[in-house]
Amino acid sequence: MAHTNNVITALFNDDDILMKSIKPLREKGYKIREVYTPFPVHGLDHALGLDRTRMAITAFIYGLIGLSVAISLTYYIMIIDWPQNIGGKPSMTWWENMPAFVPILFEMTVFFAAHLLVWTYFVRNGMYPGRAAMNPDPRTTDDMFMMEIEYSGDDEELRQLLKDNGAVEINVVANDEDHAVNEASEAH
Amino acid sequence: MHYESSVREPLITGDKSYHDITVDVAKPIETNAPRSWWIALTISLIAFLWGVGCILYTIGTGIGTWGLNRTVNWAWDITNFVWWVGIGHAGTLISAVLLLFRQKWRMSINRSAEAMTIFAVVQAALFPGIHMGRIWLAYFVFPIPNQFGSLWVNFNSPLLWDVFAISTYFSVSLVFWYVGLIPDFAMLRDRAIRPVQKHIYSILSFGWGGKAKHWQRFEEVSLVLAGLATPLVLSVHTIVSMDFATSVIPGWHTTIFPPYFVAGAIFSGFAMVQTLLIVMRKMFKMEDYITIQHIEMMNIIIMVTGSIVGIAYITELFIAWYSGVEYEQYAFLNRATGPYWWAYWSMMTCNVFSPQFMWFKRLRTSILFTFIISIVVNIGMWFERFVIIVTSLHRDYLPSSWTMFSPTFVDIGIFIGTIGFFFVLFLLYARSFPVIAQAELKTILKSSGENYKKHHSDSHGAH
């Protein structure tokens, strides 16, 4: 494609119609740049061919980090730096004292896994307090579903395809962004 | 893909569309508060301010303003602490455990239940803080390098485990709640007309736009957080129970404590969810989302956990007798027949007897009855902690130091203050936050919405 930054946006008012329209578009070779939905539409990531997210793997690694921190902390404080004999239970080796540290080991594992996971999620999504809304159309957090499709050359074929697949509103985002052509059309 | 058996009752009643859900969830925020909200807020604020006064008096004068004495050195403070932490447990149970079990009915109650968790843990954390006496030294509980001569925390102590458990629980619940809130804040941002409101929700929503990849991550993050929060919530009350169970006080030194405390926590937490949601659904007209079915489900959980608590009480009694330990036997005999018999039998009536009414469908689907039982259960659970703590302490090994505990106005004032503070937070939340996880709820509209279900079964009947 020569001019890949030609973009058409199509609005749908139903998640099932949206899902059904993805396959014909991808079969024709159109690149769906983004889909904005008001709620997680089941199977949408699969239909768009998105890779599996690695969020869970990161959480596992963060959990291991938390566990290591807890082991180091208890080892340094209770065994190395200031070993005490509390209630006739001397702090000789970490291993012998380990049962008493299980709650700490567990809590630190969860603490690190959960918090670092959420930080990763924000960073990967590019989300931070005060960031401008990422959805171009405010209706997509209510009941509308918006698709951004890249095309090159003539847009007639794409428009027809979207109309046939139930899009309720089709807009062209022109190359220079301040010149947007708006054309609303009823599908049925 | 949107089908669900027609035998199942709809979870969303009325003729709702996606847009209707948006409008209904945004309504309490976009419209003026009902008069009842202002009345409730005023009462709560007065109680809260009274509590603040009592806390300041405690900090300024000392713990001597409380009714504690040398024998009963733990009483209302720790009772209230355990009570509030326990109440918090239901929120996590609904949002995490029911998510793992794929219980769709959690969706319209999880947001408020988790708000309740966070607000309840705030109240709980107050008590150990002010019981330290010198609250400005509260940072001593964290393992911070210091210049006091290697003065470290003691990782063998259950009280320190508690610090780690409660702070992990509070902070993890908060981020779990917030991750779920972001798409709903974005919905409010995109609807807001007034600039100030738009600006606030814009900051809160972190720029959320509902991109496909973001939703994919959202779902996995929610699932992983639920998986982490599930053992976490069980660990919290387990560790709280170890504050008692690892000591050598008769009546505390029992291995049954962890599961018994966890069951009690879920029991009282669900009762508090009922109390709050029955009022909220009426005040903000959420009856289509929080249906009788939701109330019934929660009543069943109250019945099951109440029965587990009952079995735990009876097991404790049996083991006290069976152990042959004189002190243990006396501790339990003293609970039931000693000077605090009234507290023990209030606990038994409220916690073991009253939830058994929920076996009857007519009673567990009655809103008024549920509301009354929810209050009764929370009174009972407060008495449970009081019984465990005070009756085990007040007659120790040395009869010459046997004594009674009576709270001062400060003890009572702080407790009432936390109830006020809790309701202040919840009432403010109910008017500024989306009280129902609307984005999640929209995913089940087509499978569990009344109109869609009806439509589906009609079209099936025609074939």
Output the six-digit token pair for A173: 């985002």
Shortest CA distance to B351 belongs to which of B387, B404, B393? Answer: B387
For residue B143, the model assigns a pLDDT of 86
Q: Is position B7 within any domain? A: no
B135 DSSP 8-state letter: G
Do A110 and B211 make contact, defined as CB atoms within 8 angstroms?
no
Confidence (pLDDT) at A187: 38
* Predicted local confidence at residue B99, as pLDDT: 87
> CA-nearest residue of chain A to B216?
A45
* A:B CB pairs within 8 Å: 213
Give which of B259, B278, B70, B94 is closest to B176, Cα–Cα: B94
Average pLDDT in chain B: 90
Among the listed residues B283, B275, B274, B278, the one whose alpha carbon sits nearest the alpha carbon of residue B28: B283
Q: What is the mean pLDDT of residues A164-173?
A: 85
CB A56 to CB B224 under 8 A? yes
pLDDT tops 80 at residue B32: yes
B2 pLDDT tier (thresholds 50, 70, 90) = low
Q: Tens digits of per-residue pLDDT, B281-311?
A: 888 888 889 999 999 999 999 999 999 999 9
Pairwise CA distance, residues A123 & B248, whole Å: 49
Q: Which chain B positions have a beta carbon within 8 Å of A89's beta carbon?
A: 156
Q: B210 vs A37: CB contact, 8 Å cut-off?
A: yes
In this predicted structure, the answer to whether residue A2 has a pLDDT above a threshold of 60 is no
Q: Give the model's pLDDT for residue B461.
A: 54
- Quote the DSSP letter at residue B33: P
For position B149, what pLDDT does the model report? 61
Determine the residue of chain A that is closest to B229 in CA distance. A110
How do residues A31-88 score in pLDDT, each as one tens digit? Answer: 888 999 999 998 898 888 889 999 999 999 999 999 999 999 999 988 888 888 877 8
**Mean pLDDT across the stretch A178-186?**
41
Number of domains composing chain B: 1
- pLDDT tens for each residue of B411-438: 999 999 999 999 999 999 999 999 999 9
Q: How far is A25 from chain B (nearest CA, A)?
A: 16
Ramachandran angles phi, psi of B317, nearest 5°: -65, -45
How many C-beta atoms surround the C-beta of residue A71 within 10 A? Answer: 16
Taking an 8 Å cut-off on Cβ atoms, the answer to whether A38 and B187 are in contact is: yes
Cβ pair B213:A55 closer than 8 A:
no
Model confidence over B127-144: pLDDT tens digits? 999 998 888 888 888 888
| Mean of pLDDT values over B41-55 | 96
Which residues of chain A lie closer than 8 angstroms to B235, CB-CB? 103, 106-107, 110
CATH fold, domain A6-38+143-183, is Alpha-Beta Plaits (3.30.70)
Show residues of chain B in contact with A130, CB under 8 Å: 202-203, 207
Position with higher pLDDT, B22 vs A3: B22
pLDDT at A186 over 50: no
User: What CATH number is given to the structural domain containing B410?
Assistant: 1.20.1630.10
What digits encode the pLDDT tens for the residues B163-214?
999 999 999 999 999 999 999 999 999 998 889 999 999 999 999 999 999 9
Q: Tens digit of pLDDT for each residue in B316-342?
A: 999 999 999 998 999 999 999 999 999
Residue in chain A closest to B228 (alpha carbons) equals A110
Percent of chain B with pLDDT over 70: 98
Q: How far is CA B282 from CA A100, B39, B182, B291, in A?
A: 48, 15, 26, 11
Across A158-172, B84-98, B160-174, the highest mean pLDDT is recorded for: B160-174
Compute the distance between CA of residue A92 and CA of residue B262 in angstroms, rounded to an integer.
Answer: 33
Burial class (CB within 10 angstroms; exposed 0-12, middle 13-18, buried 19+) of B442: buried
| Residue of chain B whose Cα is closest to the Cα of A19 | B1
Domain for residue B60, yes or no?
yes
CB atoms within 10 A of CB B342: 9
| Residue recorded with tokens 């916690």 | B351
- For chain B, the first-to-last Cα distance in angstroms comes to 19
Enclosing domain of residue B443:
18-143+152-452
**Between chains, do A100 and B171 touch, taking CB under 8 Å as contact?**
no
Q: Is residue B462's pLDDT more than 60?
A: no
What contacts B81, CB < 8 A, 6 or more positions away?
B124, B127, B128
Q: Which two tokens stand for residue B224?
A: 């992983």
Residues recorded for chain B: 463
Q: Is pLDDT at B270 greater than 80 in this prediction?
A: yes
CA distance B453 to B252: 52
- Band (pLDDT 50/70/90 cuts) for residue B95 is confident
CA-closest candidate to residue B178, choices A110, A63, A54, A115: A115
Q: Does residue B299 belong to any structural domain of this protein?
A: yes
Q: Does the distance separating the beta carbons of B183 and A110 come in below 8 Å?
A: no
Is residue B283 included in any domain, yes or no?
yes
pLDDT at B150 over 70: no
Residue of chain B minimizing CA distance to A145: B210
The CA distance from A55 to A64, in Å, is: 15
Note the helical H segments in A8-165. Answer: 15-27, 44-47, 55-74, 94-125, 156-164
Nearest to B440 among A39, A41, A138 (CB): A39
Question: What's the gap in Å between the CA of A39 and the closest CA on chain B?
Answer: 5
Q: What is the CA radius of gyration of chain A?
A: 26
DSSP state of B211: B
Q: Is B69 left (phi over 0), alpha (psi -120 to 50) or beta?
A: beta
pLDDT score for B12: 85
Task: Give the position of tokens 């932490």.
Answer: B85
Give pLDDT, residue A184: 41
pLDDT > 90? residue A183: no
Integer Cα distance of A146 and A38 in angstroms: 9
Residues B349, B122, A62: CA angle, nearest 5 degrees: 115
Question: Domain residues of chain A, as ranges?
Answer: 6-38+143-183, 55-125
